[in-house]
Structure 1
Amino acid sequence: MTTPSDRLLRRLEWRLGRRLDGRLQGAYRTVWHGTGIDFTDLRAYVPEDDVRHIDWNVTARLDEPYIRQYTEDRELTAWLVVDRSASMRFGRGQGKESVAAELAVALARLVSQGGNRVGAVLFDNDSHQVIPPRPGRDQILRITRALLAPAPKSSAITDLSEMFRMAAATTSRRRSLVFVMSDFIGEPGWDRSLAMLTHRHEVVVIRVVDPSELELPDVGVILVEDAETGEQLLVDTSDPLLRGRLADQVGAREDAVAEGMRKAGVAAHRVTTDQDMLTALIDMVRRSGRGRR
């Protein structure tokens, strides 16, 4: 009997095969690098390089910044850190939770090629699930089943700091590739714990957003509910004063998220629920490639 996880994985495999060309399918290692233990060479620093790899002794001697290069690991370990809190269930169409799940499965399928290991940390305030990294298609199905299982309902505001602390404690000490998928709606102050994760691993942040969170549609009087707390309120979406206040709040929230990412030392990829998932994935891989040398 074919399960929902089998159907989702088969659909994504078919779409990946048709939409991702050979250059993207086989070249993710040139985009998201592993870090081996063997030093191989030095080269001049360029602005896109990771400053943590600067050789300060050589830089001081030559009065010009130089980067240490290492042999890449033959096998890569990747982790999927997925926010499954109440706010992720919001959204038109598929909703943020479904978009995050499809992105996670597609990335797992892409990275697992060549025998690489993939694990997952699925986070909610009241329920956490860790799937240890393993290679193979059965592992992708295991992660897919976990992502499709209903998340428990919670009225607490998401503790993103705890999610990142849990991810840092769970992932191996060996440098890994970590994909974080969240809407970043939750308690503030998460930048420090995210910075701890980025210090140890290569982190790719994917922020999933619904368009109505960025601009309130003018649809008259509606009942709105806070996805995190369950609080309900009747509002007139055509009221210009209300729309102005909400626009100011959205602007402040976007500024706060951008500042948090800056402090953590990462650049977030934003994916909206009305985007084609594979188009967003291809664009994300290409933009990550342009950011690395």
Structure 2
Amino acid sequence: MTAASDRLLRRLEWQVLRRLDGRLQGGHRTVWRGAGLDFSDVRAYTPEDDVRHIDWNVTARMDEPFVRQYTEDRDLTAWLVLDRSASMRGAGGHGKDVTLSELAVCLARLLTYRGNRVGAILFDNRHQRVVPPRTGRDQVLRLTHELGVPVPRADAGSTTDLSAMLRLAAATARRRSLVLVLSDFIGDPGWERSLALLAHRHEVVAVRIVDPAELELPDLGMIVVEDAETGEQLLLDSGDPLLRERLAAEVQAREAGLTETMNRAGVAAHRVTTDTDLVDALVDMVRRTRRRSR
């Protein structure tokens, strides 16, 4: 692995992961664990049991409540599905691509602390790379190196096939896994079914990476805006109140639609903006995931 990869990982370990100590109950090394996935037996229900584990068929036959027991799989396999399409690439500074890379490295390091296996799918329309799941710091270094490889520019006018990205994730992750999708979810429509199918087999967490300018247009007068996917440019007056009102309504509708899509698919969804402190973002993700799993 390159010296640049090692420097990036060391910086994130010092600036982000070290600061997580004390912020997460139980320590950041126990954020994600293997979960019981394989059914093994049933037994009589006790008041301490989770009612979601009641086996209603057995309960009906025996005329008393029974719960399903599972064999715990302590070795979690996680996949990072990383959208590296045109709309994720920054023109300079701390763009969505930088946030994606840093967040992916931090998540991989958190997951490997307890010996969990982490793999990755780096996706854009023309180039896909798969990093098979392994454990250890060397695996995180490999992922860090892959994220540092430049992505060739897409063809003019092309848009991201998010459905293809999600189908690739489903085909690659053979074993039931934790799948974290890091994307801005900007691309061709019709990916909702692929997300639902992925979530039917795996535990899916969607992390939407957003530039604040995508949520609220700054008032800068006459500006040139460019479609991040197609490269199409348009001159507009960012101070026009009617334009700002219309764009705000479109953003609100898009946010509501994405929330509904994630809820309908049963996916835990998080939004991380490029100006968010990664420590705060990770703490929020863990706390919300824990509340959701109760």
- The TM-score with structure 2 as length reference comes to 0.89
Corresponding residue of 1:27? 30
SS of the residue corresponding to residue 122 of structure 1 reads strand
CA distance in 1, matches of 2:103, 2:42: 35
SS of the residue corresponding to residue 275 of structure 1 reads coil
Alignment of 1:1-293 (within 5 A): 3-15=3-15, 16-21=17-22, 23-29=26-32, 33=35, 35-39=37-41, 45=50, 55-58=55-58, 60=60, 68-90=68-90, 93-154=93-154, 155=156, 156-172=158-174, 174-293=175-294
Aligned residues: 286
The answer on whether the counterparts of 2:119 and 2:132 sit within 8 Å (CA) in structure 1 is yes
CA distance in 1, matches of 2:130, 2:186: 22
How far 1:39 sits from its partner (Å)? 4.1
Task: Tell me how large the CA RMSD over aligned residues is.
Answer: 2.4
User: Unaligned stretches of 5+ in structure 1?
Assistant: none
How far 1:93 sits from its partner (Å)? 4.2
SS of the residue corresponding to residue 257 of structure 2 reads helix
The answer on whether the counterparts of 1:78 and 1:178 sit within 8 Å (CA) in structure 2 is yes
What letter matches 2:5 in structure 1?
S
CA distance in 1, matches of 2:150, 2:63: 57
Q: 1:188 to 1:263 in 2, by over 3 A?
A: farther
Task: Give a deviation string over 1:132-188, Cα, whole Å, max 9, x none.
Answer: 11112111111111112212211411111111000000112x211111101111112
Q: 1:8 to 1:196 in 2, by over 3 A?
A: same
User: Unaligned stretches of 5+ in structure 2?
Assistant: none
SS of the residue corresponding to residue 217 of structure 1 reads coil
Task: Give a deviation string over 1:236-284, Cα, whole Å, max 9, x none.
Answer: 1001121122112212211221222122111311111111012111111
SS of the residue corresponding to residue 132 of structure 1 reads strand
User: Mean Cα displacement is larger for which, 117-126 or 71-80?
Assistant: 71-80
How far 1:54 sits from its partner (Å)? 5.5
Q: Say which structure, 1 or 2, has more relative contact order (CA 8 Å, 6+ apart).
A: 1
The answer on whether the counterparts of 1:215 and 1:247 sit within 8 Å (CA) in structure 2 is yes
Q: 1:64 to 1:98 in 2, by over 3 A?
A: farther
User: Mean Cα displacement is larger for which, 87-96 or 237-246?
Assistant: 87-96
The answer on whether the counterparts of 2:209 and 2:273 sit within 8 Å (CA) in structure 1 is yes
CA distance in 2, matches of 1:122, 1:178: 13
What letter matches 1:190 in structure 2?
W
- The TM-score with structure 1 as length reference comes to 0.89
SS of the residue corresponding to residue 207 of structure 1 reads strand
CA distance in 1, matches of 2:67, 2:231: 50
The answer on whether the counterparts of 1:161 and 1:189 sit within 8 Å (CA) in structure 2 is yes
SS of the residue corresponding to residue 75 of structure 2 reads coil
The answer on whether the counterparts of 1:176 and 1:201 sit within 8 Å (CA) in structure 2 is yes
What letter matches 2:293 in structure 1?
R
What letter matches 2:171 in structure 1?
A
